Structure 1
């Protein structure tokens, strides 16, 4: 690929990172997807592509769809929260740019409860205004079917938004989760979790150093009970305006659990330990709820 085409690609890199991050919810995976698009563009030859932005968006979307499907096939292992070593290095400028351009944490948690096709249709249409005529071929559906995918995703996203004035009930639910986890009470944990609950943790929160996604009340409950949360200084706090859990041994914030709630149960948990993600969270004390 010559310098002129490389320059054209770089012009669209921020947009492609934003698309990939909204699809994947991971800055490092988003950068991998963009790099894959760069390699594919070099092999395909893009000299005659008139709308390069649209062409590259489609390529990145296909790459992300494959990554999401692979993520679902990946074996899910129990997670030990808060025990991973915290690396001293910080995210590079490109990764920070992706995070800075990201959607809210709560939305990313909800998006991960969608199927890969629903997530792609919703993100491309509702966030990037891509027409369903272009989305359909990417997910292997007709435009009408792609529209239905986005519609279902939209209902789930909106349905997971907490109603105004419901903060007290959500706080009590999170407090019950924390107490059950600290006591190792598996049955109590399962009672507060939705059967299809999704837990995702970034690489810094996991001993193996790789992001983890767990699905289902039983496996999430086992992981929470085995996490030795009681060994850390943990408390309920407002995380981006919603009840969450903060872990701060020695007074230093190390891990945050953000929750999505629907129908009186916890439907999604996002475990945040990456320094650049922690820095973007708004943490408030529970006084005055």
Structure 2
């Protein structure tokens, strides 16, 4: 196992892409700490993970023979993130990998968007990425080793209507990734991002339900522009890209991104 003995933090780890990433890391021997907010956010038009969801995720990883820990954490809050990092360090003694995956979304035109919606979106994606790196990277510097992978999006490379807040946050993650990579390269730390296209997770299901869309209708609309019409992007597809960026084989890749979008950005020009 290529990650035997290592420890990873995965934010937004209770379900969807986060859980798939945690399982992929665990399959290579990595001990994983799954962090999730475990409560709803008023500006988000769908239900977020509950504590029971996080507990089930932990048990699922343990059931496959992995070692996992579930921690409630709001990545928008510095004290909450610090407590997460302190608990993982105390429990496992090290932190080798950080996956910044926590995310929310909504579809709101700029002229109708309230400040809270903007703040919650930017704080979850961009501030959360900053805070997690702020508290984790010093441990990586001390160990002279680390892998940081942040989940951006095709919305971090382009824009789309009613998604200015989401796209701004995801663009920011890419800029942050490139800058941090330059700061920590001398400490043997790789910093990269993964940009998924539309992945049919609970987040997307909740968004479709909010707009009263049937599943087939929502998939057709949200996945429009994917070149492969006969396959959906799955959380496992995203997880495989993240996993590779955490393996020794990616040692010369930093400040970069992998796009898992079924060709959407290529088709968009």
TM-score (norm 2): 0.24
Q: Choose 1 or 2 for highest CA Rg.
A: 1
TM-score (norm 1): 0.23
Answer 1 or 2: which has greater helix percent: 1
